[in-house]
A and B are shown apart, each in its own frame.
Chain A
Amino acid sequence: MHRDLFKKRQYATLGQQYAEPVPAINNEIPAKDIPKGLVNKCESCGELLMAKELQKNAHTCPHCGHHFSVDAPTRLSLTLDSDTFEEFDAGISSVDPLGFPGYMDKVHKAQEMSGLAEGIVTGQGKISGFPVVIGVMDARFIMGSMGSAVGEKLTRAIEKAGQLRIPLILFTASGGARMQEGILSLMQMAKTSAALERLQEQGTLFVSVITHPTTGGVSASFASLGDIILAEPGALFGFAGRRVIEQTIRQNLPDDFQTAEFMLKHGMVDKVVHRAQLRDTLTTILRVHGLRGEGSGDTTGI
């Protein structure tokens, strides 16, 4: 596709210097299939897995450790204490600001298929008794892309965490900014980052949890701004798409390129955590964080 692009592009043949424009969108990586049947085949090792077995293993393969994609409701139930979730802003959904061909059809299909109004679910809940504001992106919803509705829900959740002064946990899964809303999607990167700036100024904890895939405009905004950044094993986490990069540097990339493990090695992630341990890890972070300052005071300094 990109080779064609290079050939056909008119301005490349005018004797001018050529530079590949880089989108904040990565359309290369679809979310992994979510297993639905009673018996599923592991897409990594090929083992047959019973639905019950998968569920018991937090939707990971007990044989090879492969992490299957999970939808937002599943993620919430894996993460939060039962019956503690209160949803925010469930009534927010997308409109079509550019009059983009086929966009509303895409939204309606995604709504039907996912049962969600938009590509992120936000709300408040508890993890091992610790109150948190939580946001979970759903990669099934137009590749988890961020348009105005996702940006607004996120920003409100960030502001709510600030008002309540309770930690914010965001699970990311996204191809990046939503092309169909054009420049307004790009601006959601600025909007969410501005809200996080205030949260950080205030000193409220933000933990970002990178799940497969987290790329483009989401990777280059709130996903990378966590005080602590956790990632699930094997999750793709990076800015530009593999094909775009290979086209640019004209060489093949290593297999582990832009995986959570690769990003850990390069210092972009604090810890890669198996999904089955994620709740415990978050609990530890919240407990340690909750003990700060109490009694000792924030003002003692060093």
Chain B
Amino acid sequence: MATQLEFEHPIIELQSKIQELRQFMQESGMNLNDEVDKLERRLLELKSSVYSTLTPWQRVQVARQPGRPTTLDYIQGLCSEFIELHGDRNFRDDPAIVGGIGLMDGEPVTVIGTQKGRDTKENIHRNFGMAHPEGYRKALRLMKQAEQYHRPVVLFIDTAGAYPGMSAEERGQSEAIARNLREMAGLKTPTISVVAGEGGSGGALGLGVTDRIFVLEYAWYSVIAPESAAAIMWKDSGQAARAAETMRISALDLLELGVADGIIKEPEGGAQKAPAQTIQSVKHQVVSSLAELKQLSIAELLQARYDKYRDMGVYFERSVDKVST
């Protein structure tokens, strides 16, 4: 299902060469095992060298690959029982955000996330995972409910951004996101967000004000997509690769800048190569992190969350003498 990315071409060529040789062996009865073994070893080396040196822009491409687990896939892997809950009780149910309640290792939990489609038809239904205000309001309703019934909240983020449409503006896209930022800052229950693919600006942040933020190895999270940044900086969206580097949007950058609390390792080549393995890694991180957060009282939790965001950003402060009058 996943498409081939340009930097993967040498790998794919080598793979098909190995396959051809195998077929030839079978058909001709010749023994070329040594040759095949050599190529297999070379393939392993090639893979490890390609995937360990991906540029930020190549990582963005991996993060956008179809076939990566979506929120509903994570939910299925995380929860033994799950009921999806719908609607914002005001306007409609936004299919670009899903959420509900379930049991994770026997513990009740609320899980919410942006939902990309797994094929074209579903993607159109899901609006490519780009939420309207009612999506953010549904998420808030479920978070408030989780707070009321003392359930931790786990959020999955994989969106190019909040939907930029007329209907979204009319119904208050700004207000919906802003309210989520404020309410999530004060939510009296442990919260964890996982940036699973694309972390597109305000639309991602609208589900991302949490006690812990984990970022998948190849995910990106940025104030602006590399193409748009390049269009602004160099009047050329083709310079996206340069922008991706400049903007520091990769997992390691986010960790170094103090935004991410941890990186969840992906299978070689990305989550789409082994979705089940990825989901298990995510589950492991979420479960252990929740156990940690549950040690804190609600007051401690809220203070730590406040302090974390309070400390974000860097600036210069010159001492100014107070002029008394």
Contacts and interface: CB of A to CB of B under 8 A. Distances in A.
Interface stretch (A34-42, A89-97, A161-169, A274-282): A89-97
B174 interface: yes
Given A5-B237, A240-B162, 20 more contacts: A1-B237, A5-B231, A22-B161, A22-B163, A22-B164, A22-B200, A23-B223, A95-B315, A148-B314, A149-B313, A152-B315, A179-B233, A183-B254, A189-B205, A190-B185, A191-B312, A217-B202, A224-B172, A239-B162, A239-B177
Contacts of B319: 91
B169 A245 contact: yes
A266 B227 contact: no
Nearest to A178: B223
Interface string B151-169: 0000000001111111011
B167 to A, nearest CB: 9
Given A5-B231, A223-B174, A186 B205 contact: yes
B238 interface: yes
Contacts of A237: 174
Given A22-B162, A91-B318, A191 B309 contact: yes
A197 B200 contact: no
Contacts of A16: 3, 64, 66
B201 interface: yes
B312 A182 contact: no
A238 B169 contact: yes
B203 interface: yes
Interface stretch (A6-14, A52-60, A127-135): A6-14
A197 B61 CA distance: 37
B123 interface: yes
A185 B314 CA distance: 10
Interface in B140-186: 160-166, 168-175, 177-179, 181-183, 185-186
Contacts of B173: 220, 238-240
A122 interface: no
A152 B313 contact: yes
A197 B182 contact: yes
B160 A19 contact: yes
Contacts of B185: 190, 193-194, 197
A179 B224 contact: yes
Interface stretch (B22-30, B77-85, B245-253, B277-285): B245-253
Contact of A193 (B209, B232, B237): B209
A4 B237 contact: yes
Contacts of B208: 190
A296 to B, nearest CB: 27
Nearest to A88: B320
A201 B205 contact: no
A184 B319 CA distance: 23
Contacts of B166: 245, 249, 253, 257
Contact of B201 (A4, A186, A249): A186
B134 interface: no
Interface of B: 3, 6, 61, 64, 66, 117, 120, 123, 128-130, 160-166, 168-175, 177-179, 181-183, 185-186, 198, 200-203, 205-206, 208-209, 221-225, 227-229, 231-233, 235, 237-238, 240, 246-249, 253-254, 257, 259, 305-306, 309-310, 312-320
A186 B320 CA distance: 28
B212 to A, nearest CB: 14
B247 A98 contact: yes
Interface string A134-162: 00000000000001110110010000000
Given A9-B227, A179-B224, A258-B169, A190 B309 contact: yes
B248 A225 contact: no
Contact of A268 (B174, B202, B313, B317): B174
Contacts of A216: 202
A98 B248 contact: yes
A183 B259 contact: yes
Contacts of B206: 220
Contact of B249 (A24, A183, A188): A183
A222 interface: yes
A104 B225 CA distance: 22
16 contacts: A17-B66, A20-B164, A89-B320, A92-B317, A95-B316, A98-B246, A152-B313, A184-B257, A184-B312, A186-B223, A188-B313, A191-B310, A193-B182, A224-B174, A240-B168, A241-B164
A181 B253 CA distance: 13
A182 B249 contact: yes
A224 B175 contact: yes
